[in-house]
């Protein structure tokens, strides 16, 4: 058992799971460690946050996914430190686990650009718990508005702002507009949910900045048509429990969601290597290892590296999967005594973002389209990539029902609403 090398993989996201799977038939034993018990299909997390899907629809237990891979052991635990000299990781429960090769892919969390005091008033969206907290906030805001008699306070409960005009921000804002205009229609007696104001705040000049300009313009037009008030070019200057400041303008809003900043997982700091501004680890393009540490690999949102043309590899699911697979290939070659594979090269299949009902933008290397065809393309791609047969069927069924009825099936408030 101990004669074969021990590969420890930290993080069961796309990078970690694809690295594990890539080593399925390799003569190694693998320990995959994750804080949770599940792999999360992060591209659909906004659907849980907006009550369209339930949490188990987009997640599957890691040990269920890997049940037939006999060389892999799944461990639920939190790695708090990496000891490069001792070649071991330390867990929060005090255990230490020795490795021959280590793959670190603990992803990213949200960052508030030095304004951590905004965090309690503007929750971000990275985990299922984040999604359920946002769902609770959004649903409770409409309930509070219904119970509120003061018109100004009622307006504040009916004002929703999403900070950040990337794909997540666009999805959240578009879906919030759909909920207020369609899903909740006629269900309230004292308010008209259609009066809700949904704002999308982007400090840069345009939304979806990683897309061609023409598609950003299309996205803005589709958002406006859904009823979203898109504001670009002005940074958010402050957020508190009562609202936010947009440049000089002060807007009362009881629900602000954060889709702007991303920072690498704090575990990167325990690697004791230089990090970039977002806390990510620069890795060697050849094999995604740390310079001077060929036994430590970093992948997914935690890693930063350049493409051949100098642009960075983006923090998207396909890039994480490709990095995970590349690391598996490097390790297989290494343990077999074969030459290393060609350096990592990110294959960019294109870029797509959904906006809301029948609205999306797709950019496949110059083949650009938007609106209804783009939305069908987005839907097909996401259902196809969703892990697990049952999930696909249920998600399709939920979406078909949601499409025809405008209803959303997970409008259930779980847990306690925090005071606000």
| Cβ 410 to its own copies shortest distance, Å | 4
Straight-line distance from the first to the last Cα atom of the chain, in angstroms, rounded to the nearest whole number: 55
| DSSP state at residue 187 | S
Question: How long a stretch of residues is the chain?
Answer: 420
Cβ contacts of residue 132 below 8 Å, gap of 6+?
48, 49, 55, 414, 415
User: Does residue 189 interact with its own copies by CB under 8 A?
Assistant: yes
Among 4, 21, 24, 64, binds its own copies (CB under 8 A): 64
- Count of residues touching its own copies (by CB under 8 A): 47
Q: Which stretch binds its own copies (CB under 8 A): 182-190, 211-219, 285-293, 313-321?
A: 182-190
Q: Under rule CB under 8 A, which residues in 302-341 are in contact with its own copies?
A: none
Of 246, 250, 164, 265, the C-alpha closest to 207 is 164
| Cβ 330 to its own copies shortest distance, Å | 25
Of 45, 16, 48, the C-alpha closest to 411 is 48
User: Does residue 187 interact with its own copies by CB under 8 A?
Assistant: yes
Given a contact cutoff of 8 angstroms between Cβ atoms, the answer to whether 161 and 256 are in contact is yes
Q: Which stretch binds its own copies (CB under 8 A): 99-107, 253-261, 353-361, 394-402?
A: 394-402
Among 213, 412, 418, 420, binds its own copies (CB under 8 A): 412
If one counts every other C-beta atom within 10 angstroms of the C-beta of residue 151, the result is 8
User: Does residue 371 interact with its own copies by CB under 8 A?
Assistant: no
Among residues 148, 171, 178, 202, which one is catalytic? 171
Q: Which stretch binds its own copies (CB under 8 A): 4-12, 56-64, 304-312, 351-359?
A: 56-64
User: Does residue 56 interact with its own copies by CB under 8 A?
Assistant: yes
Q: Which stretch binds its own copies (CB under 8 A): 152-160, 211-219, 251-259, 409-417?
A: 409-417
Q: CA-CA distance, 89 to 71, in Å (whole number)?
A: 19
User: Does residue 38 interact with its own copies by CB under 8 A?
Assistant: yes
User: Does residue 401 interact with its own copies by CB under 8 A?
Assistant: yes
* Helix, strand or coil, per DSSP, at residue 355: strand
Phi, psi (rounded to 5 degrees) for 319: -65, -40
Cβ contacts of residue 129 below 8 Å, gap of 6+?
none
How many CA atoms does the CB half-sphere of 146 hold within 13 Å?
Answer: 13
H-type helices in 104-158, by residue range? 128-147, 151-157
Tokens of 188: 């309230």
User: Does residue 54 interact with its own copies by CB under 8 A?
Assistant: yes
| Cβ 351 to its own copies shortest distance, Å | 29
Our answer to whether residue 171 is catalytic in this structure is yes
Q: Which stretch binds its own copies (CB under 8 A): 58-66, 283-291, 344-352, 372-380?
A: 58-66
Among 4, 5, 37, 212, binds its own copies (CB under 8 A): 37
User: Does residue 75 interact with its own copies by CB under 8 A?
Assistant: yes
- What is the pairing mode between strands 88-91 and 96-98? antiparallel
Distances (CA, A) of 320 to 13, 17, 187, 288, 314: 8, 10, 42, 12, 9
Q: Under rule CB under 8 A, which residues in 90-149 are in contact with its own copies?
A: 93, 95, 128-129, 132, 139-140, 143, 146-147
| Cβ 44 to its own copies shortest distance, Å | 14
- Going along 136-260, which residue ranges are E strands? 159-163, 197-202, 228-232, 236-240, 243-246, 249-252, 255-258
Q: Which residues bind its own copies (CB under 8 A)?
A: 36-38, 54-57, 59, 61, 63-64, 67, 73-77, 93, 95, 128-129, 132, 139-140, 143, 146-147, 186-190, 390-391, 393-394, 397-398, 401, 407, 409-415
Residues annotated as catalytic (active site), given as ranges: 171
């Amino acid at each position: 058992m101990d004669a074969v090398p021990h590969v420890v993989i930290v993080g069961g996201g796309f990078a970690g799971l694809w690295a594990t799977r890539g080593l399925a038939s390799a003569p190694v034993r693998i320990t995959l460690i994750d804080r949770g018990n599940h792999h999360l299909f992060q591209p659909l997390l906004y659907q849980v946050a907006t009550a369209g899907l339930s949490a188990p629809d987009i997640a599957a237990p890691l040990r269920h996914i890997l049940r037939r891979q006999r060389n892999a052991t799944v461990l639920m635990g939190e790695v708090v430190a990496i000891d490069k000299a001792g070649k071991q990781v330390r867990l929060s429960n005090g255990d230490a686990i020795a490795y021959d090769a280590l793959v670190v892919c603990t992803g990213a969390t949200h960052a508030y650009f030095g304004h951590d005091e905004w965090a309690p008033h503007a929750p971000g969206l990275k985990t299922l718990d984040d999604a359920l907290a946002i769902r609770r906030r959004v649903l409770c805001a409409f309930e509070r508005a219904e119970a509120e008699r003061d018109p100004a306070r009622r307006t504040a409960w009916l004002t929703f702002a999403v900070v950040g005009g990337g794909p997540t921000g666009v999805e959240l804002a578009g879906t919030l507009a759909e909920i207020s205009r369609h899903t909740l229609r006629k269900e309230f007696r004292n308010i008209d949910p259609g009066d809700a104001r949904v704002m999308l705040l982007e400090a840069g000049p345009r939304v979806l900045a990683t897309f061609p300009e023409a598609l950003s313009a299309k996205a803005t037009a589709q958002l406006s048509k859904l009823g979203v008030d898109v504001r670009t070019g002005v940074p958010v200057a402050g957020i508190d429990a009562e609202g936010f400041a947009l440049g000089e303008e002060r807007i009362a809003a009881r629900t602000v969601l954060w889709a702007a900043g991303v920072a690498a997982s704090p575990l990167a700091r325990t690697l004791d290597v230089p990090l970039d501004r977002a806390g990510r680890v620069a890795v060697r393009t050849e094999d995604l290892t740390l310079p001077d540490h060929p036994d430590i690999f970093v992948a997914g949102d935690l890693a930063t590296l350049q493409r051949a043309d100098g642009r960075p590899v983006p923090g998207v699911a396909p890039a994480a999967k490709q990095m995970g697979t590349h690391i598996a290939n490097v390790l297989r070659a290494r343990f077999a005594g074969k030459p290393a594979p060609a350096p990592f090269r990110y294959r960019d299949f294109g870029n797509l973002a959904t906006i809301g009902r029948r609205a999306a933008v797709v950019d496949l290397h110059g083949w650009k389209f938007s609106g209804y065809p783009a939305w069908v393309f987005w839907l097909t791609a996401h259902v196809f990539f969703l892990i697990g047969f049952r999930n696909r069927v249920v998600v399709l069924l939920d979406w078909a029902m949601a499409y025809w009825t405008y209803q959303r099936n997970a409008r259930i408030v779980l847990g306690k609403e925090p005071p606000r």
